[in-house]
Chains A and B, each alone.
Chain A
Amino acid sequence: MWDSTVGKKAVMATSGLVMIAYLVVHMAANAKIFLGAAGFDAYAHWLRVMGEPVLHREWGLWIARVVLLASVVAHGVSAYQLSRRDIKARPTGYVHKKPRATYATRTMRWGGVILGLFIVWHILDLTTGTVHSGFEEGKPYSNVVDTFSTWYGNVIYITAMLAMGLHVRHGLWSAAQTLGVGSRVRDRSLKAVANGLALVLTVGFISVPVGVMTGVVS
């Protein structure tokens, strides 16, 4: 699997789909912020006790974290190795240049890097609070409001979500081709699903900082 460009790409597609599935859940859960501090903080608490009593406290959360970390690493490593190979396979460019492919397609690599950096910043900001002065453990609602009360918090977050939308737009469609489920007949619906989901995710995630900025959430 890993020795072949086709196999490695299948690993990239599968790990990407795992992350997209997570994003859908994450976005839907974020919307709870519009229900006020009690609802949102209760949800954050539930994340820690989910699966109980079958699982111990925080086990469910840690399982999700391990799966996600494995996906990010598998995805990043396969993307890096395949990109290196692709660049080597075309050492000389054409003198006569033409704009090629769609914007979403051309920005997969840099968009991916932006997402990787964002994931790190996001965890340090709202999970551990390392880069967040005034962070209060166990008070996610006020931490979120606090983050989106700074201009740089908004800029970083909104830029990353636009990059995420573009990445998912090409990524979801791409993953279908890589895993062999795309076809001429299915292409219109597949593109509609990819574009639609990318749009819903982008708008859904961005609604939170916009909510804080406009005072709907405070």
Chain B
Amino acid sequence: MKLTLRVWRQQNADAPGAMSTYEVDGISKDMSFLEMLDTLNEELIVKGDDPVAFDHDCREGICGACSLVINGDAHGPERTTTCQLHMRSFKDGDTIDIEPWRAAAFPVVKDLVVDRTAFDRIIQSGGYISAPTGSAPDAHATPVPKPDADFAFEHAECIGCGACVAACPNGSAMLFTSAKVNHLNVLPQGAPERESRVLDMVGQMDHEGFGGCTLTGECATACPKGIPLFSITHMNKEWLRANRKDKRTAS
């Protein structure tokens, strides 16, 4: 396949950026989207140009590092991560626009790479449990009802990629934060910090400059792991409960 790529190029966080146009040829339908970009970069390097910077790590859809807005969709046209998107989703002769995640809380580092450490700080503010150290506890020491276990697993699937923020017209991190809060809040292991977790994580989320939720549903449509929009509803419920119950928040 022969493709025209329009790629966001930006030297560093402070430099202005712009879309640059490139042609790539010899792309196979079986290549992943990132392999297609590798092909472009090899050509750029041979020509002595600066290769396009983009994030990636596992390339198997589990780490959450890859992050591209492809033709206006976070992670492209399929419901998966960019690394698991294949070129068979495109046609010979297509023009593809490739842009970085856009949000005030995710500043561009270079080209298509953005700084997502705001997510790390949200996790640090409450995305943990208190557990005794030492030898691992017995697997069945703490019983968890099946529906709760399923609910926790569904939310534990979030890989922290940030596609939800990229897709949201308000640059809101509500889907990510709700996945992390719900995952731990439903489990007995997460119970000791149930109130402070949701209050502190939402507080940190606001502090990082993410927008609020207007329930457009764009986040859940973009999420490669299928975290549902109702996760946000559930977190709202947890937040209101914690706010009622625990005025003396451990901040």
Interface on A for B, CB 8 Å cutoff?
1, 3-10, 82, 85-98, 100-101, 105-106, 108, 170, 173-174, 176-184, 187
Contacts and interface: CB of A to CB of B under 8 A. Distances in A.
Top-3 shortest CB links A-B: A180-B237, A89-B211, A86-B170
A33 B99 CA distance: 57
B97 interface: yes
B99 to A, nearest CB: 6
B72 A179 contact: no
A98 B72 contact: yes
A174 B215 contact: yes
Contacts of B210: 89
A177 B73 contact: no
A173 B8 CA distance: 37
A6 B213 CA distance: 8
Nearest to A105: B216
B233 A183 contact: yes
Contacts of A101: 169, 216-218
B97 A96 contact: yes
Contacts, number: 131
B104 A5 contact: no
Report the contact-size class of chain B (Cβ under 8 Å from the partner). Answer: 35 or more
B185 interface: no
A89 B236 contact: no
B219 to A, nearest CB: 11
B209 A88 contact: yes
B239 interface: yes
A100 B202 contact: no
Given A5-B206, A89-B104, A184-B228, A10 B169 contact: no
Nearest to A101: B216
B212 A95 contact: no
Nearest to B241: A180
Nearest to B212: A5
A105 B212 CA distance: 14
Contacts of B72: 94, 96-98
A80 to B, nearest CB: 12
A95 B19 contact: yes
B216 A92 contact: no
B124 interface: no
Nearest to A7: B243
Contacts of B160: none
A86 B230 contact: no
Contacts of A100: 169, 216, 218
Contacts of B216: 100-101, 105-106
B188 to A, nearest CB: 21
Given A5-B206, A85-B211, A177-B233, 6 more contacts: A7-B243, A82-B212, A91-B104, A98-B73, A108-B214, A178-B236
B103 A90 contact: yes
Interface string B162-178: 00000011111000000
Given A5-B206, A182-B230, A88 B104 contact: yes
A130 B187 CA distance: 61
B102 interface: yes
Contacts of A183: 230, 233-234
A93 B170 CA distance: 10
A9 to B, nearest CB: 6
Given A96-B72, A179-B236, A180-B233, A5 B102 contact: no
A85 B102 CA distance: 15
